Structure 1
């Protein structure tokens, strides 16, 4: 179970990606999908973002701290 919901600015900061790259990655299946948390608000599960970062680092031969 995810500890927190992350909003777009937090996801951008955590990944170093811009909004357009995040949404393009979601469309291509390369980035975790957001989910609706309100009428006009979406978020990402912190665990999903951590897993994505871990996979990227492992693919590059690095360790996830």
Structure 2
């Protein structure tokens, strides 16, 4: 049986990723970092599996709801 996904708080996310708080929220706004999950009126956290996916490959990370990106840039 699969173990349920844990929710981790911002202090743990920041320690594991090495990001600053402002960088983390900027990346969330850009869509390049997992979004928060509301766990109470004043509390939020992140799914540990999403953070692990981001840590494994931060450049290619996309939320599971997004499609794949197309190479539409001129290099």
Q: Shorter chain as normaliser: what TM range?
A: 0.7 to 0.9
Query: Aligned to 2:38, what secondary structure does the other structure show?
Result: strand
Higher strand share: 1
TM-score w.r.t. the length of structure 1 is 0.80
Contact 1:2 1:46 in 2 (8 A): no
Instruction: Please identify the structure whose Cα radius of gyration is greater.
Output: 2
Extract unaligned runs of 5+ from structure 1: 59-65
TM-score w.r.t. the length of structure 2 is 0.70
Distance, in Å, in 2 between the alignment partners of 1:52 and 1:46 is: 10
How many residue pairs get aligned? The number is: 58
Higher helix share: 1
Extract unaligned runs of 5+ from structure 2: 61-75
Q: What is the Cα-based RMSD across aligned positions, in Å?
A: 1.9
